[in-house]
Amino acid sequence: MKRENIKIALVHDWFNQTGGAEKVVKEILHCYPEADVFCLFDFFDKENREKYLLGKKTNTSLIQHIPFAKKRYRNLFPLFPSAIESLDLRAYDVIISSSSCVAKGVIKRPEQLHISYCHSPARYAWDLKDEYLKAVKTKIAKSVTKYFFGRLRKWDFESSKRVDYFIANSYFVSNRIKTFFNRESTVIYPPVNVEMKEHKGERSDVYISVSRLVTYKNVELIVEAFRQMPELKLEIAGDGILKNKILKNLPANVTYLGYIDDETKHYKISRAKAFIAAATEDFGISIVEAQSYCTPVIIPCVGGYIETVNENTGVFFHDKTVEEMVATIRAFHTSNKVFKPEHFEEKIKPFSEERFRNELKAFIDDKIDKHIASKQ
């Protein structure tokens, strides 16, 4: 086996919406442009295909052909394990998976090398399952969903044994990999555009939250907190399955912006009083990006936020409750604390795109070289 003849497969969960995981895929492809891409399903438009997949076509599973998969793919999660296992990767020497759900569970031959960049063990199979179950309406549906969560959890553990090396996107995720899979991992922070951004006008008193509108992001909690603070204004941006539920009873002091493009995001975040999030994030790219605008962040003291924010760049609340958020935001609003640009720049510098490419390629190349040597 010669290095120049190595065939690489890159496996990602799916391509539907864009976020931090898709940015990781883009950077992996910059490192290994020769890789063929596999996934459960791919509904990217031409613009996103060029931006995140470098124009590549993907190899998909049977889920691609289910008529309602694009909008209701989450309802198909019981099929995900068998669908990912159906992908034929026998022709490849190296498998790189980008996984927050099932991508790391692909079937491999013993002589293949599998390196998994783990954004998170499947959240609804493990520690966030109760939060997802809250969104299920009927008792019967809740029981059925809970049953399949349990099956997915067992499969998730067993399939983790197929991975040769885990890369975690934060120390928080590394601890979860150890807890749930009993596997060691190497931390390589995901790529973020950490270039400091110019301000688009004067700071306002308006707060902003930019997020996918899905269960674990807890945008509803942020809205409820501002319902208790009618004197303060909040703008929320993003799209997702909870959009209609959130918009149904929006207080007068909260404005929904919908999905916003990069230019609008730049304008809004750079002028905001603060950026607010309420998830238990594995890393939290949006929070690092917010700091690149010299915009302070207000976040829970959990998960990856502890690694990406400090007292010079943001404010933590300790309990994810409306009361705790209200107290924290009001205290922040009335304080005269000064946040300095140099503190933001210093904090986010370790998360650059260039650093990610260098660390990831060095790690994977080393494992490939050792794998080749072991076969000779």
Sign of CA dihedral 296, 299, 301, 304: negative
Identify whether the C-beta of residue 211 lies closer than 8 Å to the C-beta of residue 368.
Answer: no
pLDDT of 141 reads: 59
∠ Cα 168 171 173 (to 5°): 55
Per-residue pLDDT at 311: 95
Model confidence, pTM: 0.89
Q: List Cβ<8 Å contacts ≥24 apart for 301-307.
A: 303/170, 303/172, 303/279, 304/169, 304/170, 304/172, 304/173, 305/277, 305/281, 306/172, 307/170, 307/171, 307/172, 307/189, 307/283
Cα gap 10→317, rounded to integer Å? 38
Q: Which phi and psi (to 5°) does residue 304 adopt?
A: -70, -20
- Can you tell me the distance from the alpha carbon of 167 to that of 165, in angstroms, rounded to the nearest whole number? 7
Which domains, ranges and CATH numbers included, belong to the chain?
A: 3-191+352-375 (3.40.50.2000), 206-350 (3.40.50.2000)
Please identify which residue in the block is written with the tokens 């950077």.
Answer: 27
How many Å apart are CA 300 and CA 321, to the nearest integer?
A: 10
Paired strand residues for 94: 8, 113
The predicted pLDDT at position 241 comes to: 83
pLDDT along the chain (376 residues), means of 10: 85 92 96 97 96 97 93 87 97 97 96 96 67 59 66 91 97 96 97 86 91 88 97 94 90 95 91 94 92 96 94 94 96 92 95 96 96 85
